[in-house]
Amino acid sequence: MSKVLILAEHDGQTLNPSTHKCVTCATAIPGAQIAVLLLGVDTAAVATQAAAIHGVHEVLRIDRPENAHPLAATFAPQVAAIAPGYTHLFGPSTSFGKDLTPRVAALLGVPQVSDLMAVDGAYRFRRPIYAGNAIVTVEADPARILVATVRIASFEAAGTGGSATIASRTADVKLPVHTRYVGARSGSTDRPDLQTASRVVSGGRALASAENFKLLYDFADKIGAAVGASRAAVDAGYAPNEMQVGQTGKIIAPEVYFAFGISGAIQHLTGIKDARTIVAVNKDPEAPIFEVADIGLVGDLFQVVPELARLLGH
C-alpha cells in the first residue's frame, strides 16, 4: 500500500484548488491511502474542506503561532518531522509548492521529482522537459520516500463528498529564525486568481503600452476572467511579473484562453498547452499561436476586443 501525504495550500480560510488536483494525481497511484497536511494557526475551517475531498482518508493539522504565514523555512522542518511512515509526499507546482517541497526533500536527504503530469505506477511517472517539447518517464527508488511536485495544469480537481477523519498533530522540532515575515502586497482586484481561473485573457507586446492593457482588464472584468501576459509584454514593462504566463511564468489550464497580440513563442505555449480552448487574435496570419489555437482570427486586437465585448452583450 502507498501512503501519500499532500501538502495543502490555503489562506487560513479557504483551501486552494491546487490541493484537489494533487489528490487526483495521488488517487492514480494503485492502493493509495491519502492524507492531507495543513499548517497554520487555526486550520479548523480549512480542515473541514479538505476532509470533504473525495479520496482523502485523513486530514492532519499542525496549528502553532509560528505558522501564521506560509514561510517555507518554517514549514519545512515540521513537514519533514511528519513525513516518516509515508511513501510519497506531494506538493502543488505553485509558488507555494515550488518553495516548500525542495526544502523538505533536502531535509529528508532525497531528490525531488518536479512537475508530475501523469502516473504510470506507484514510482513511475511522466513529466515534461525542454519547455514541454518532450515528455520523459522517470522511475523513483521505492526504498525511499518520493518527494514531488504535481503539475496542477495536468489534472482535474478531485470532487467532494468525502468524509475523512481530522486529527491534530505536533512537530517537536526547532524552527529556524533566520527568515521572518515582513509583509505581503498585491494589487487590489476582484478578478479570479490567474493560476486557477477558468477564463483567462492575455496580452502580448502588440498592446504597446501598460495603458493599453486597460482594454484587456475591462474585457476580463466583463466576462469574469483573470488577466495574463506574455514574457515580451512583461519584459517591456506593460504588465507586472506576476501576470506572466509561460515556461518561466505561470503554467495554467483554463477552460478558455484568449491570446490577444501574442505571437506564440514556444515558452509561452508551454504555459497554456493544457488549456481546453485557445482563442487567438493576431494581425500576423503566420503567427505560431494559430498552430495551436482552436479558434483563430487575423485582425487588429484594438478593434476585435471592443467588438467581442459588444457581441457578448456587455
What pLDDT score does 58 carry?
A: 97
> Is there a domain that residue 190 lies in?
no
What pLDDT score does 189 carry?
A: 61
| CATH code: domain of residue 98 | 3.40.50.620
What pLDDT score does 86 carry?
A: 97
Which residue numbers in the chain have pLDDT < 50? none
Sheet harboring 199-203: ordered strands across?
226-229, 199-203, 256-260, 277-282, 295-298
What pLDDT score does 301 carry?
A: 95
Would you say how long the chain is, in residues? 314
Both 157 and 221 in one domain: the answer is no
Both 212 and 68 in one domain: the answer is no
Domain containing residue 204: 199-311
- How many other C-beta atoms lie within 10 A of the C-beta of residue 93? 26
What pLDDT score does 190 carry?
A: 73
Task: Please list the residues that pair with 135 across neighbouring strands.
Answer: 128
Domain count, the chain: 2
Query: From its phi and psi, is residue 297 left (phi > 0), alpha (psi between -120 and 50) or beta?
Result: beta
> Is there a domain that residue 284 lies in?
yes
The beta strands (E) that lie in the chain are given as: 2-7, 32-40, 56-63, 88-92, 112-116, 118-121, 124-129, 134-139, 146-150, 165-168, 199-203, 226-229, 256-260, 277-282, 295-298
What pLDDT score does 186 carry?
A: 62
Amino acid at 174: K
What pLDDT score does 109 carry?
A: 96
Both 48 and 137 in one domain: the answer is yes
> Is there a domain that residue 89 lies in?
yes
| CATH code: domain of residue 233 | 3.40.50.1220
The sign of the dihedral angle between the CA atoms of 292, 293, 298, 301 is: negative
Both 24 and 154 in one domain: the answer is yes
Q: What is the pLDDT of residues 91-124, one digit of tens each?
A: 999 989 999 999 999 999 999 999 999 999 999 9
CB neighbour list of residue 189: distance below 8 Å, 6 or more residues apart: none
Both 126 and 252 in one domain: the answer is no
What pLDDT score does 133 carry?
A: 79
What pLDDT score does 195 carry?
A: 85
